[in-house]
Amino acid sequence: MTEADYDYFMVFQLLDSGERERLDIEEGEMQSILHPEEVFVIVKEEIRRIFIWKGAKSPVRKRFISSRVAGGLQEELVKEANFHRCKIVSVDQGDEVVEFLQAFNLESMEVEDRLQDMRYVRNVERDAAGGMGEVVDSTSGTSEAEEEEYYSPALEELKRKGVDVEAEMTAPQNNKTTTKPKKATTSRSTRPKREPRPRRKTGTSSKIDKGSLIKTVLDTEVPSDYQRQNLIIGEELYGAVSKTTNVFGENVEKTNWELISSVPEGIFLLKDYIFRIYFNPDEGIIKAVEILKDETKSKMEKSNLEMPESGGKLSKQILDLDSPEGYKRINLIEGHHLYGATTKSVNVFGEEQEEIAWDLIDSIPKELITLDDHLFRVFFDSEKETVPGIEVLKKGKEKNNPGTSTNSNPKKKESEENGSSKRRNLPKIPSGEN
């Protein structure tokens, strides 16, 4: 493959021969191709990850060599495509890690049948992955030692066929890649038709207990003169819903925090709000964003900005927009992920120049950060009923960088005048009451 053949998102199907076959699919089609008998290597350079997705009934041989294939691809992308070094993450069907589901907005797949020697397979995979930089779940205890002695019928079958398992795990990666036409992945005429597997809805992640998370946020003290307005978990918006019940002639009012099913459309500018961001430092993700409002100072108005017609990744669309006058872009929040500007000094023929790139931040030292002197642009998607992005801005001059447009464009020009004398009825963030 040449550098022009690489994309920031790529999916490779692992073949029985050990070669990888690239599939021509979009990110939105991921759920449809994941099959219990297949193994896929998925590249998402934007978040610096190479995922190895392993179906519950995928052949033992494919599972054995998947780490080697992913490791070879990791090196190839760095050397040939000048990609960042992506971390390899192992993903098992039915036990998917949080960032995998969130990265592609997927639902976790229920597993009805597993390979009878799955315990053996996982032990061998763990040993092999340890030397290749792959992220795997590790457990301790005597049960692990016992599992390593587990008899593997599938392994014995491979040996009878003359397959050298040790050689398969240590052989150098064959970089040969074939390309499979789009839609060909959905045709499985050589296999008997299967009924669709039941799936459980995960929303953001099966590992995030939203009820417990909401309780943690609600138990956190609110600053004086402010009230809790909304809560965002992933891309889902939550609000306080008041319910009145008549009990023996008396009205009893109760307030619950529930998912808001109807959100506005477009970009909204929030000024003099407090945003509190709850992090999971161990996973390097944002658990929730809490929005606090001052009844007298806080202002929210809809922007006349339009998202670029070119489409593409949300982060790129947002970074292509002009910042409000007098403000500079500080951070960008997409679901559970936080992005920030990284300044790099580059020496060009003796002259030092600065380059600014927007990178995923996965090293977060604090569990709670309060932003009380920033401007926020919130991006709503009424069709999907989500909040896909939040832009964090602060007073200052925006530097000329890949995330900032230097050319004036009438469609993208921000006409919001912060702190102006204009007064009008401003739309409110929905509270959850329809």
Per-residue pLDDT at 158? 60
Closest CA to 310 of 318, 298, 299: 318
Element containing residue 119 per DSSP (H, E) = helix 118-130
Per-residue pLDDT at 64? 86
User: What does DSSP assign to residue 96?
Assistant: -
Question: Parallel, antiparallel, or unpaired for β 273-280 and 368-371?
Answer: antiparallel
The SS3 call for residue 315 is helix
Cα 24 from Cα 299, distance rounded (Å): 45
Question: Parallel, antiparallel, or unpaired for β 351-361 and 337-348?
Answer: antiparallel
User: What does DSSP assign to residue 414?
Assistant: -
Cβ proximity of 315 and 358 under 8 Å: yes
Its sign, for the CA torsion 180, 183, 188, 190, is negative
Buried b (16+ CB within 10 A) or exposed e, 423-433: eeeeeebbebe
Per-residue pLDDT at 84? 83
Residue 235 in tokens = 């891309």
Per-residue pLDDT at 253? 84
Closest CA to 335 of 317, 363, 314, 356: 314
Residue 170 in tokens = 């240590």
Per-residue pLDDT at 71? 93
Per-residue pLDDT at 293? 94
Could you tell me which residues are beta bridge partners of residue 330? none
The backbone torsions φ and ψ at residue 104, rounded to the nearest 5 degrees and listed phi first, read -120, 10
Closest CA to 102 of 368, 407, 360, 409: 360
Residue 39 in tokens = 């193994």
Per-residue pLDDT of the chain (434 residues; tens, 9 = 90+): 665 678 889 999 999 888 999 999 888 888 889 999 999 999 998 888 999 999 999 998 899 899 999 999 999 998 888 888 899 999 999 889 888 998 888 888 888 766 555 544 555 455 544 444 444 443 444 444 344 444 455 556 566 666 665 555 555 545 555 555 444 433 333 333 333 333 333 334 445 788 889 999 999 999 988 999 999 999 899 999 888 888 888 888 888 898 888 888 999 999 999 999 999 888 888 999 999 999 889 999 999 888 776 566 777 888 888 888 899 999 999 988 898 888 878 788 888 888 777 888 878 878 999 998 899 999 998 888 889 999 999 988 766 544 444 344 444 444 444 444 444 444 444 544 44
Cα 235 from Cα 250, distance rounded (Å): 38
CA 257 to chain centre: 24
Per-residue pLDDT at 357? 79
Per-residue pLDDT at 14? 93
**Is residue 151 exposed (0-12), middle (13-18) or buried (19+ Cβ within 10 Å)?**
exposed
User: Which residue ranges does the chain devote to CATH 3.40.20.10?
Assistant: 3-200
- The identity of residue 92, as a single letter, is D
Cα 160 from Cα 155, distance rounded (Å): 9
Cβ partners under 8 Å of residue 80, min gap 6: 1, 2, 3, 6
Residue 141 backbone zone (phi > 0: left; psi -120 to 50: alpha; other: beta): left
Cα 182 from Cα 250, distance rounded (Å): 62
Pick the CATH number of 3-200 from 1.10.357.10, 3.40.20.10, 3.40.50.620, 3.40.50.300: 3.40.20.10
Alpha helices in 81-117 (DSSP H): 98-104
Rounded to two decimals, the pTM is 0.50
Cβ proximity of 93 and 36 under 8 Å: yes
Closest CA to 91 of 80, 82, 77, 103: 103
